[in-house]
Amino acid sequence: MRMFLLFILSAAFALSLPNADTFSEKMEVQNAQNMFQRAFSFYCSNETGEMIDAYNELIDKFEYSTNKEIRLITAQAMSNLALAYESVNNTKAEQAVLERLISKFLNSNDSAIELMAAKSLLRKGFIAANANDTKGEIETGERFVAIFENTDNEDIQAALAGVMTLLGYNYTRNGEYRKAIDIHNKFIDKFENSHHEYMQNQLFINIMWLGLNYVDLGEIKSGLTVYQKMIDKFKNSTNPDIIKGLGTVVANKIELEICNDIKPSFSDENRKIAGKSEYGAFMYEFLQILYDARNESQSSKLKTFKEKYANIDFKKLIGSFDFSDLDRWQNGLKSPAKERVKECVDILKWFMEK
């Protein structure tokens, strides 16, 4: 009877203890938290070397843990360690930690960890950009899009929009116009119906560059279709940047039409849109004079135009202007129309050079 009673008491005591695995796991979580706090204390006291060592110790110890809390702590430790390396300008070590975080946690089901991994990938792209490593920047951008194209995380979606826009720009810089067209079209399909102001700005840029890419490939009608789509979509926008940009789009569209012997889209609506930006108003008026010069002299109108815009800093307004299309169109005309058009183009060059 005594032995049976001891067995019962022992069993009851055992049942009252925490589950061994759960207790051990809680201790591991506490240990990870303590190590993280220790590393952070070195940050607070500006002991960067000790902080780096402490974070590395934590990461090495818990990198393969499957516990959700420890994984979050480890990911944050990696993120902080990358920042520490950045602060001491150790780019090579920073990139190694960023890649370690990305490779380990990019497919995490934890939104907080996923966001840290996404930011790490963005940071790698930023490092490549600072080093003028366009290839590395493109590879990072492609990787980001492939991984996060269908994300529901709003913060990552905002980053995705920026990455896709920049990726298209870098493709264009490399002369990879088809790739640029593909990524801009993908952006438009994904974000066209977004009402977020940032997304609208990025959408405007992507549609504009899409048109430019078609023009770069000599697909003029496709480019003009895209420009008209922009005008129709954004003509009622109240966003100052879009209003200004749309004036440029109207002017570029009309110039493109003139230089490719397509009837230019002069209209009251387009005049109004172009007139909302300084460059648009200037170019719209110039292009009307230029187009009319095919049939009769515009010397008097050019004199008035030159006086009206005498104080405009055209170079500052546009940065640079490619005269190749205008020169090509002008050279293809017969005299005396060719000379009359040349007089107009020379005035624009004067504005650019003054």
Q: What are the tens digits of pLDDT across the range 67-87?
A: 999 999 999 999 999 999 999
pLDDT of residue 16: 38
pLDDT of residue 109: 79
- pLDDT > 50? residue 304: yes
- Of 132, 161, 176, which residue sits at a domain end? 132
Please name which of 311, 316, 292, 312 lies closest in space to residue 302, comparing C-alpha atoms: 292
- Of 199, 231, 263, which residue sits at a domain end? 231
Q: What is the pLDDT of residues 178-195, one digit of tens each?
A: 999 999 999 999 999 998
> 68 and 144 share a domain?
no
> How many CA atoms lie within 13 Å of 226's alpha carbon, on the beta-carbon side?
25
Which residues lie closer than 8 Å to 37 by C-beta, 6 or more apart?
A: none
pLDDT of residue 17: 36
Which residues lie closer than 8 Å to 56 by C-beta, 6 or more apart?
A: 81
Within-domain flag for 59: yes
Please name which of 306, 313, 318 lies closest in space to residue 280, comparing C-alpha atoms: 318
* Separation in Å, CA 123 to CA 51, 91, 193, 255: 21, 11, 28, 40
- pLDDT > 70? residue 305: yes
Within-domain flag for 14: no
pLDDT confidence tier of residue 23, bands split at 50, 70 and 90: confident
> 57 and 121 share a domain?
yes
> 84 and 144 share a domain?
no
Within-domain flag for 348: no
Percent of the chain past pLDDT 90, that is, above it, reads 80
CATH for 84:
1.25.40.10
Q: Which residue do the tokens 């490719």 mark?
A: 260
Angle between helices 91-105 and 68-87 (to 10 degrees): 160
Into how many domains does the chain fold? 2
Percent of the chain past pLDDT 70, that is, above it, reads 94
> 127 and 181 share a domain?
no
Within-domain flag for 74: yes
Angle, CA 136 vertex, CA 134 and CA 139 arms, to 5°: 110
Q: Mean of the pLDDT values across residues 332-347?
A: 96
Contact (Cβ atoms closer than 8 angstroms) between residue 226 and residue 207:
yes
- pLDDT > 70? residue 9: no
Angle, CA 34 vertex, CA 32 and CA 35 arms, to 5°: 65
Contact (Cβ atoms closer than 8 angstroms) between residue 62 and residue 74:
yes
Specify burial of residue 116 (Cβ count, 10 A radius: 0-12, 13-18, 19+).
buried
> 146 and 88 share a domain?
no
- pLDDT > 80? residue 11: no
Q: What is the pLDDT of residues 237-247, one digit of tens each?
A: 999 999 999 99
Q: What is the pLDDT of residues 230-276, one digit of tens each?
A: 999 999 999 999 999 999 999 999 999 999 999 999 999 999 999 99
> 128 and 85 share a domain?
yes
Within-domain flag for 286: no
Q: Mean of the pLDDT values across residues 102-111?
A: 84
> 110 and 156 share a domain?
no
> 35 and 117 share a domain?
yes
CATH for 161:
1.25.40
> 128 and 140 share a domain?
no
Within-domain flag for 280: no
H helices of 260-323, in order, are 268-274, 278-292, 299-308, 314-318
3-state secondary structure 144-197: HHHHHCCCCCHHHHHHHHHHHHHHHHHHHHCCCHHHHHHHHHHHHHHHCCCCCH
> 159 and 218 share a domain?
yes
Within-domain flag for 279: no
- pLDDT > 50? residue 287: yes
> 128 and 36 share a domain?
yes
Within-domain flag for 55: yes
Q: Mean of the pLDDT values across residues 105-130?
A: 90
Measured in whole angstroms, the distance separating CA 55 from the mean position of its chain's CA atoms is 32
Domain range for 220 is: 134-231
- Of 168, 196, 231, which residue sits at a domain end? 231
Average pLDDT, the chain: 90
State the Cα–Cα distance between residues 290 and 286, nearest whole angstrom. 6
> 158 and 73 share a domain?
no
Range 35-61 burial, b when 16+ CB lie within 10 A, else e: bbeebbebbeeeeeeebbebbbebbee
For 309, other C-beta atoms within 10 Å of its C-beta total: 16
Contact (Cβ atoms closer than 8 angstroms) between residue 128 and residue 136:
yes
